[in-house]
Amino acid sequence: MKQFLSLLLYGIALMTCAQQVTVLERTRLLQGVEGPAYYPVLNADGSQLLFSSGEQNGLKLYTYDDNVVTRISDEAGAGIDALWGGDGRVYYVTQERRANNLVYRTGHCYDLATARSIVVLEAQHGAVRPMSASRGAALRGNVSYTSARNLGVAVTTEGSEVVLNVNGQERRFSPVESHAGYLWASLSPDGLRVAFFAAGTGVIVMDLEGKVLAQLGNYEMPCWYDDDYIVAQHATDDGHQFTSSQIMLLKVDGSFAYELTRPTSMTMQPTAGGGKIVYTTIDGQLHQMRIQIKP
């Protein structure tokens, strides 16, 4: 009897903390207009969308109000790690293979006002990591670039470290063990927390002092939906290829997880902004979703 009462109380507790999620809209984006599209990135207000297309992962921009797609770059790799800076510009890295099979990477900035890209970081051998920031962006490599002297709060990952820059001061944290490293660090809309992926552990939420606030589970590619929720990818594989992939909604305190798409949908690479959630499928179909969350 005592065990039964404990289970009953546990079930009631789960029900009281559960959220009600309603999918208000599911839309296929750019159907019949674009070929396969991957790595979507919405800007903060959800009015514009970056995505990668073509065999070399070139970079394109979709503007919702005008329903126009703009080609930013056809250079190899441009669409893989492209990001929106806090200054409203687009920052991206291209790559080329030179003599002795060495890969060189170049940093670029695209200005929407002039519809032009400029090189902000000359070609160099070695990794170049984009760093999102509240007041701009940075590109970190053997030689680095910053768009402003004070980036506000900026974040990226290097190996098994989260690298933060807070008002000009660098902070490095390794809050959880991960021999295979960290990926996909992003700053919450309120600028007070960081979400990132730790290989072997999953999605971690920490504050700007490196304190772990929550471990959300073994999901990938976390992206902030708002200050309270994160969207992420949950994929499985057999060691050679994906066997399932879906989009999840996660509460940042770890108390709630909800399937926005089914595992068999093979949906992946989520991004969020302005109340929109955009993701792609394994064969490159872009989709958009709007949801409503009630306590």
Question: Tokens in use for 40?
Answer: 């979507």
Say if residue 195's pLDDT is above 90.
yes
The pLDDT of 199-214, averaged and rounded, is 97
For the chain, give the percent of residues with pLDDT over 70. 94
* pLDDT at site 109: 98
Burial of 12 (0-12, 13-18, 19+ CB in 10 A): exposed
15 pLDDT more than 50: no
Task: Give which of 254, 243, 268 is closest to 217, Cα–Cα.
Answer: 254
- pLDDT of res. 268: 98
User: Cα separations (Å) of 167 from 3, 133, 154, 263?
Assistant: 53, 10, 9, 41
Predicted pLDDT at 11: 40
Q: Which strands form 83-84's sheet, in the order they lie side by side?
A: 83-84, 90-97, 103-111, 116-125
Q: Is the pLDDT of residue 170 over 90?
A: yes
More confident residue, 168 or 8: 168
> Which tokens belong to 161?
């470290």
| Whether the predicted pLDDT of 40 surpasses 80 | yes
Helix (H) or strand (E) holding 10: helix 2-17
What confidence tier does 89 reach under pLDDT thresholds 50, 70, 90?
Answer: very high
- Average of pLDDT values for 198-225? 97
Res. 18 pLDDT band, cuts 50 70 90: low
